[in-house]
Amino acid sequence: MEQKKLALVSGANGHLGNNLVRLLLKKGIPVRASVRNIKNKTPFNGLDCEVVQADITDKASFVRSLQGVNTFYAVGASFKLWAKDPKKEIYDVNMEGTRNTIEAAAEAGVKRIVYVSSIAALDYTTLPTKESNGYNPDRRDMYYNSKNDGEKLAFTMAKKLGIELVSVMPGAMIGSEAFLPLNVSYGVLKLILNKQIPMDTKITLNWIDVKDVAEGCYLAATRGRSGERYILANEKCMTITDTTRLAQKLYPELKLKVPGSVPKFMLYAIAGLMEFSAKLRGKAPVLTMKDIAMFSGLQQDFDISKSRHELGFNPKNTEQALTEALAYLMGKSSDLMRL
C-alpha cells in the first residue's frame, strides 16, 4: 500500500510523535502535526509540516484536524505511570481520547489508522510474550488498564465504523530527538546518569530505539494487516542495574556505582516514603510500591517474529540503542539532564 497522501500524527511534540513526523517527512509524505498546546513549536523548528491544535478530549478539534487525511497515526495519549487521580488523569483521558479520535477519523473520511498501544497491553504470563497471548490480566495500574481497554475499544470501533486499524505496541522508547519533559523511559536513563537510583529494584525494561518504533509505525501503515497487533520492541529485556553497568563502562569519568541488592520489604519501605513525599510535593515519585509489586522481577521478553516477517521490522539491538541514547543525553547535558 503506497502512502504519499496526507498523514496526521497526534501527540506530535512528544518523543515518538516528533520522531515519526521527521521520518514521514524524510519519506516525502506530507504531514499535519497535531499538538495539544499550539504554543510549543520548538520540536518543529526546521520541519516542513503543518502544525495544528487538537486535544484528544475534544472530538471537534480532531474532526477539523483530520480533514483530507489519508492515514492517521494515533500517537497522542496520557503517558504517565503516576498521577494524583490516576483514573481521571490517565485512564479516563486515554479511553475518551480513543473514542473521540476514532469517531472523528470516521467522520473525516480517514482510510487507515495506526493506533499506538503499548507492550502494557500484553499478557506476560507465558514467555516470550507474543501478540496472540492476549491482553494483560494484571489490573493494578491505570495506565496499563487504559492501554489494554483502549486497544480493545479501538478495534471494536474501527470494525463498526468501517475503518482499517492496525495496532502497534512499543517497548521502552529511548534515543534520538527529545524535548523536555523527557518520557518515562528516557527519564530512567537520566536518573542513572544523575546517580539517582540508590538500589537494585530488579525491574527490567525492554529498551527500543524510538527511530525503530517510528519506522515500525510507518511499516504498520503500509504493510500491516487491518485488525492485527504488532509488537515493536526487542527480544530481550535488561534490568535497570545492568543498564547502569553499561553506562558505567561507557562513561567511567562519571564514577557511577552499581546499585546493590536489598530485601524486598526494604524496597517497599523506600517506595512508600517516596510516594508519601510525592503526594506532599505533587510530583511523581522515582519509585512506587505498585512499581515494586508489578515490575520487580517481571521479565519483558518478546517474540517479535510477527513484526519481523509481516512488517519487515528490524530494530537495532538493546546495547546499541542504549549506547546511542546515553550519548544523546550526555551531549545534551546542559538542558535535558538538569534535575
What digits encode the pLDDT tens for the residues 30-85? 999 999 999 888 999 999 999 999 999 999 999 999 999 999 999 999 888 788 89
User: Between 27 and 333, whose confidence is greater?
Assistant: 27
Give the start-end residues of each E strand in the chain.
7-10, 31-35, 50-53, 71-74, 112-116, 164-170, 172-174, 199-200, 204-205, 207-209, 229-232, 238-239, 260-261
Q: Whole-angstrom Cα distance, residue 297 to residue 305?
A: 24
User: Is the per-residue pLDDT at 3 higher than 90?
Assistant: no
Joined grid coordinates for residue 262: 536489598
Residue 9's contacts (CB-CB under 8 Å, 6 or more residues apart) are 17, 20, 21, 24, 31, 32, 33, 34, 73, 75
Residue 203's pLDDT is 95
Residue 49's pLDDT is 97
Q: Give the pLDDT mean for 287-306.
A: 94
Question: Domains, the chain, ranges and CATH?
Answer: 7-179+207-234+301-315 (3.40.50.720)
Instruction: Using CB atoms within 10 Å of the CB of residue 118, give its burial: 0 to 12 exposed, 13 to 18 middle, 19+ buried.
Output: buried
Q: Give the pLDDT mean for 97-103.
A: 98
Q: Give the pLDDT mean for 239-248.
A: 97
State the pLDDT confidence band at 118, using cuts at 50, 70 and 90. very high
Q: Give the pLDDT mean for 131-136.
A: 96
Give the start-end residues of each E strand in 132-216.
164-170, 172-174, 199-200, 204-205, 207-209
Instruction: Using CB atoms within 10 Å of the CB of residue 148, give its burial: 0 to 12 exposed, 13 to 18 middle, 19+ buried.
Output: buried
Q: What is the CA radius of gyration of the chain?
A: 19
State the pLDDT confidence band at 2, using cuts at 50, 70 and 90. very low
Residue 232's contacts (CB-CB under 8 Å, 6 or more residues apart) are 168, 169, 170, 171, 208, 212, 213, 216, 217, 304, 307, 313, 315
Residue 332's pLDDT is 77
Residue 130's pLDDT is 97
User: Between 339 and 320, whose confidence is greater?
Assistant: 320
Residue 335's pLDDT is 56
Q: How many residues does the chain have?
A: 339
Cβ atoms of residues 36 and 17 within 8 Å:
no
β-bridge pairing 172-174 and 207-209: parallel
User: Is the per-residue pLDDT at 339 higher than 80?
Assistant: no
The tens digit of pLDDT for each residue in 142-184 reads 999 999 999 999 999 999 999 999 999 999 999 988 887 788 8
Inter-CA distances, 169 with 10, 70, 131, Å: 16, 22, 9
The chain-wide mean pLDDT, for the chain, equals 93
pTM: 0.95
Residue 148's pLDDT is 97
Of the chain, the percentage scoring pLDDT greater than 70 comes to: 97
Q: Whole-angstrom Cα distance, residue 38 to residue 235?
A: 37
User: Is the per-residue pLDDT at 1 higher than 50?
Assistant: no
